[in-house]
Structure 1
Amino acid sequence: MKFIRKNIFNALLLIMLLVIVFVPDAKAFLIRGLMEIGFYSPEVEHPMASTMGLNGIQFKDLKGNVIDLGDLKGKVIFLNFWATWCPPCRAEMPSINKLYAQFKNDKDIVFIFADADGDFAKSGKFMSDRKYEMPVYKVESDIPEKVFTGALPTTVIFDKQGRLSFRHEGVANYADKKIVDFLNKLKNTK
């Protein structure tokens, strides 16, 4: 009897582990739980503030409009690279959506959510199925490695002068008060 119970327990544990490994939403759910208890808090105490030219870094939206980061001087830019198949990206999406909802009507902050795959049909459906309001873009030009090396998710924030002020590879809780305060600080700095 003990042998059977032990085998059932081991089988259930193995099944649960396989689900977490192979089902992106299950892995995202686990990561999101870890975010809620304080893991994955982005470090913003020491902003980078390195200068770089943003001209020529372009993204295209669902309607075909192209946005050049160089044209956004005078605005804070929140740029997130993600993919629908990426569990850490899925895990941080609710926190990013919450941050976006807080600042979406602020004319001093621009949000760009760049689908690394560039598949508008898939990413648009992903956003609408989850009732996320964030605007989806795809990359239309070369992206400097200082901004994006290919790791998903990657989030970068540029200040009003176009300086790289924050860069984070990996999952993070962007609804965190530190990020909100950081964006407000950048927005209110000339």
Structure 2
Amino acid sequence: MNKIFNKKNGLNLLFVAIFLVLIFVPAAKALMIRGLMEFGLFRPDVVQTETKNTGTVLNGLSGIKFKDAGGREIDLGSLKGKVVFVNFWATWCPPCLAEMPSVHKLYTQFKSDKDVIFILVDADSNFAKAQQYMDRKGYQMPVYIAASSIPDVIFKGSLPTTVVFDKKGRISYQESGAANYASEKFIEFIKKLKASNI
């Protein structure tokens, strides 16, 4: 019996238990990803996207609408002249939960700036569940759902997906997967977009 419960088997059992927790408990996986973000992984690649311009302009995206819990709609085409940060997420998605503290820090930095708009789109279209999550975490970010179809150029279905439009309505940044949006580099990227008239 002692041979079954030796140190090696105990370590293997512990490893399997941790592995299973990471697979089946979204909050545990989110915590692990968030820890990796703190070590510098999952940095948004803004250098590459600053030189890349897809040419997709907000005027061409008029009719792409999002709705908040109060029923108010916002149309992407009406936001020309503003920097628009759109994040598609869900409460069951560990990478979404992992990046949410950094999204909240970015939002807090720009929330009183009328030239920077945040649209956090709950992919499940469940306002109650999304707002419950925001309240539990103490986040004051606005939650929306899609109120129209979303073209693939913006969202292909991977969660999380973040898209940033410049003031001319061009896609300046697009990323699928978790990223640290509270990094100094990304904050500077948003400030540059805000100051740019090109």
Is 1:25 matched with 2:27?
Answer: yes
Is 1:175 matched with 2:176?
Answer: no
Is 1:115 matched with 2:119?
Answer: no
2:13 corresponds in structure 1 to 11
Deviation string for 1:106-126 (max 9, x for gaps)? Answer: 011000000011100110101
1:51 corresponds in structure 2 to 55
Q: Distance in 2 between matches of 1:159 and 1:140?
A: 22
Q: Distance in 2 between matches of 1:43 and 1:158?
A: 15
Give the drift of 1:166. Answer: 0.6
Q: Distance in 1 between matches of 2:176 and 2:5?
A: 45
Is 1:166 matched with 2:173?
Answer: yes
In structure 2, the residue corresponding to 1:81 is in which secondary structure?
A: strand
Q: Distance in 1 between matches of 2:105 and 2:3?
A: 48
Given residue 17 of structure 2, which amino acid in structure 1 is its aligned partner?
I
Is 1:40 matched with 2:42?
Answer: yes
Is 1:142 matched with 2:143?
Answer: no
Q: What TM-score do the two structures reach when normalised by structure 1?
A: 0.97
Deviation string for 1:116-169 (max 9, x for gaps)? Answer: 111001101011111111110000111111110000000000000101111001
In structure 1, the residue corresponding to 2:121 is in which secondary structure?
A: strand
Given residue 76 of structure 1, which amino acid in structure 2 is its aligned partner?
V
Regions of 4+ moved over 6 Å:
none
Correspondence list, 1:23-102, <5 A: 23-46=25-48, 47=50, 48-52=52-56, 53-102=60-109
In structure 2, the residue corresponding to 1:59 is in which secondary structure?
A: strand
Q: Distance in 2 between matches of 1:68 and 1:13?
A: 48
**Structure 1 unaligned spans of 5+:** none
Give the drift of 1:54. Answer: 2.1
In structure 2, the residue corresponding to 1:134 is in which secondary structure?
A: coil
**Structure 2 unaligned spans of 5+:** none
Give the drift of 1:13. Answer: 1.5
Q: Distance in 1 between matches of 2:34 and 2:125?
A: 25
Give the drift of 1:16. Answer: 1.1
Given residue 71 of structure 1, which amino acid in structure 2 is its aligned partner?
S
Give the drift of 1:10. Answer: 1.7
Deviation string for 1:59-107 (max 9, x for gaps)? Answer: 0011110000111111000000000000000000000000000000001
Is 1:188 matched with 2:195?
Answer: yes
Given residue 50 of structure 1, which amino acid in structure 2 is its aligned partner?
T
Q: Distance in 1 between matches of 2:36 and 2:3?
A: 34
Deviation string for 1:17-42 (max 9, x for gaps)? Answer: 10011000000000000000011001
In structure 2, the residue corresponding to 1:133 is in which secondary structure?
A: coil
Q: Distance in 2 between matches of 1:121 and 1:60?
A: 14
Q: Distance in 1 between matches of 2:28 and 2:102?
A: 17
State the identity as a percent.
Answer: 55
